[in-house]
Structure 1
Amino acid sequence: MGFELDRFDGDVDPDLKCALCHKGLEDPLTTPCGHVFCAGCVLPWVVQEGSCPARCRGRLSAKERNRGLPLKRLILKLDIKCAHAARGGGRVVKLQELPEPLERCDFAPARGRHAGCGQLLLRRDVEAHMRDACDARPVGRCQEGGGLPLTHGEPRAGGHCCARALRAHNGALQARLGALHKALKKEALRAGKREKSLVAQLAAAQLELPMTALRYQKKFPEYSARLDSLSRCVAAPPGGKIRAMVLVDVTLHGDLDPWICPDVTPEIMRGAQSRCGAA
C-alpha cells in the first residue's frame, strides 16, 4: 500500500521502501530473511503463497514476521509535502502529523455549494465565490408558480423560465446523485482494502493460535508432574505450611528473599531441591 515517493520532501532511503510495492513503507513488517514490506502488501501474499515475496522465495508463515517499529519511527519523522502541492499547497509536515493538515488545507479542491454551481475551486476561495461571483447564488424566488430560487445569472441567460429552471434543478440533483455514487464507490474501495488487510491479519492470528495452544498443552503435563513432585518433597517440612510454600517457590525459581522467611537456611533450600531431584 505504501506512501507515494513523490510526496516526500527529498529522496527516500532505499531501506525505507517496501520491497513489494517500492513505495515508502506503511506499517512496516520484517521477515526472518531480512526483507521489509508494508503490512498491507505482505500479509495477503504470505497467507496465499506461504513464501517471502522477494526473490529469495524463502518459506514464510504468517507468524514469522516482526513489527519494524524502529523503521516506522524513522518513516514517521520524514517530511512529506502537501497532497495538494500541484494546486499551490506548499506546506511540508512530518508524516506522523497527517491526516489533520490535509483536512484543513486551503488548497484542497472543493465545489461551490450553491445548487447548480459546477465550478471546481480551492477551498480557500469557496466562500468568496459563493458570495460575490457565483452565477448560481440566489437572489429571490420565482413568483410565477415555479417556486424555485431565482439566481444571479438568469437575467443574462434570457430571463427566468420555470420549465428551464426545473430542468436545471433536476440536472443539479442528478449531478449531486452521481457525485454521491462516486464517493460511495471510493469509500467502498477503501473499506475493501482495509477489510482485506484485516482479514489477512486475522488469518495470521488464527494460524498462530493453535501453535501457541499446542505449546502450552505440551508443557502442562510437565508442570503438573513438577508440582506433584514438589508437593511430595515438602509434604511436612520443619516450619509448617508457610515454610512448605516457601520451599516450593525456591525449588521452582531457585531464589529466595531472606526477609520473607529468614529461618529457611541455604542448607534447607539445597536439601529440598536435592530431594525433589531424587524424586
Structure 2
Amino acid sequence: MGYDIERFVGYVNEGLLCCICQGVLKDPLQAPCEHAFCASCIHGWLVYHSNCPEDRQTLNMSMLRPLYRYMRNDLNRLQLHCRNGERGCEMVCSLESVEQHERECEYGWISCTNTGCPVQVERRNLSGHLAACELRSQECPKGCGYTVFNSEDMQHNCIAELRSELVMLRVEMVYRMEKAAREMSSRLDSHRQHMVQKESLLQNEVVELKVLHSSST
C-alpha cells in the first residue's frame, strides 16, 4: 500500500499515485506502458492476473522496472507529515527522509527493553517506564552486588548467591590455571624438540669434521 495522500503538504501529481491503491507511490515500479505502482500492490495483483490493472496490456514480474529518475526525484521531494502526528509530532519532512525520522521519532511506539515485558510506550516516555517497570533489573539493595528483579526481592538470598558466585570463580580460576599449564607444557615440549634436533645437527657436524680431519692426516 502507498502513503496516504492526506499526509502530504500541497499538490501531488497524479503520475505519482499508485494505479491500484491510489496512494502516493511506495517502493515504486513501472510497467512498459508507463503506469506506476507500489511494489507490494503490483506484486499482489500479478499473483492473480497477467496484465496491467490500468490498460490490461500483458504484464509480468520480469517486465517491471524502477520508476524514471526524474519521477523518483519528484517523489522524494514531496513533503509530508510524520505518521505520529496524531500523537503530537509536528515534523514535516521529505518523503526521502521520512522513514529515517519515523524510526527515531519521539512519538513513535517502542517496546520496553526489559526481557519479558510486553509494554509498548512512546519513545519519549521510555526512560520513565524503565524506571518503574516491574521487570527491570537492579543490584541487590543489601549490597551483595547481585542483579535481581523486583519480583525476586523477597526470595533473594545474598549468602547463597555469593557462595554460588565464589564457586563459579573458583571453577573459572582452575580452568584458566589448567589451560595456562597446558600451554606452558606445549611450549616446553616444542622447545625441547627443537633443542634435540639442534643437538643432533651439531653431533652430525662434529662427526663430519672428525672424518675430514682424519682423511686429511
TM-score (norm. length: structure 2): 0.53
Q: What pairs with 1:5-84 in structure 2 (closer than 5 Å)?
A: 5-10=5-10, 12-26=12-26, 27-32=28-33, 35-42=35-42, 45=45, 49-54=49-54, 56-60=55-59, 62-63=62-63, 67-84=67-84
Q: Within 1, Cα distance between the matches of 2:49 and 2:80? A: 34
Return the alpha-carbon distance in structure 2 between the equivalents of residues 119 and 141 of structure 1: 24
SS in 1 for 2:12: coil
| 1:96 Cα offset (Å) | 1.1
CA RMSD of aligned residues (A): 3.6
2:122 equivalent to 1:122: yes
Which SS does the other structure have where 2:126 is aligned? helix
Aligned residues: 151
* Larger relative contact order (CA 8 Å, sep ≥ 6): 1
Structure 1 distance, partners of 2:36, 2:52, is 10
Residue 38 (structure 1) shift: 3.0
Match of residue 3 from structure 2: 3
SS in 1 for 2:107: coil
Distance 2:64 2:135 in 1: 60
CA distance in 1, matches of 2:126, 2:25: 35
Contact 2:77–2:94 (CA under 8 A) maintained in structure 1: yes
Counterpart-to-counterpart distance in 2, 1:46 and 1:117: 41
**Which stretch shows the higher mean deviation, 86-95 or 2-11?**
2-11
The alpha-carbon deviation at position 93 of structure 1 amounts to 0.8
* Higher Rg: 2
1:16 to partner: Cα distance: 1.8
Question: Which amino acid is the alignment partner of residue 91 of structure 1?
Answer: M
1:214-261 deviation per Cα after TM superposition (whole angstroms, max 9, x unaligned) = xxxxxxxxxxxxxxxxxxxxxxxxxxxxxxxxxxxxxxxxxxxxxxxx
Q: Are residues 60 and 123 of structure 1, via their aligned partners in 2, closer, same or farther at CA, if it must alter by over 3 Å? A: closer
Corresponding residue number in structure 2 for 1:259: none
Closer/same/farther in 2, CA of residues 127 and 24 from structure 1, 3 Å limit:
same
Give distance in 2, aligned partners of 1:78 and 1:118: 36
Instruction: Give the distance between the partners of 1:115 and 1:59, measured in 2 at CA.
Output: 52
The aligned counterpart of 1:109 is: 109
Measured after TM superposition, the shift of residue 89 of structure 1 is 1.9
Partner Cα separation in structure 1 for residue 78 and residue 18 of structure 2: 15
Per the alignment, in what secondary structure is the counterpart of residue 126 of structure 1?
helix
Quick one: distance in 1 between partners of 2:58 and 2:50? 6
Cα contact 1:28–1:69 (8 A) shared by 2: no
Which residue number corresponds to residue 133 of structure 2? 134
Q: State the SS of the aligned residue for 2:30.
A: strand
SS state at 1:99 partner: helix
Alpha-carbon distance in 2 for matches of 1:39, 1:115:
36
With over 3 angstroms needed to count, the CA separation of the structure-2 counterparts of 1:141 and 1:116, relative to structure 1, is: farther
The answer for the alignment partner of 2:100 in structure 1 is: 100
SS in 1 for 2:71: helix
After TM superposition, list the pairs within 5 Å mapping 1:1-279 onto structure 2: 1-10=1-10, 12-26=12-26, 27-32=28-33, 35-42=35-42, 45=45, 49-54=49-54, 56-60=55-59, 62-63=62-63, 67-115=67-115, 117-131=117-131, 133-138=132-137, 140-141=139-140, 149-151=148-150, 162=155
Query: Are the counterparts in 2 of residues 30 and 68 from structure 1 also a CA contact under 8 Å?
Result: no
Question: CA contact under 8 A between 2:137 and 2:147: conserved in structure 1?
Answer: no
Once the two structures are TM-superposed, the CA of residue 91 in structure 1 deviates from its matched residue by 1.0
Partner of 2:177: none
Q: Percent identity?
A: 25
What's the CA shift for 1:135?
A: 4.2
Cα gap change, 1:12 to 1:135, in 2 (>3 Å): same
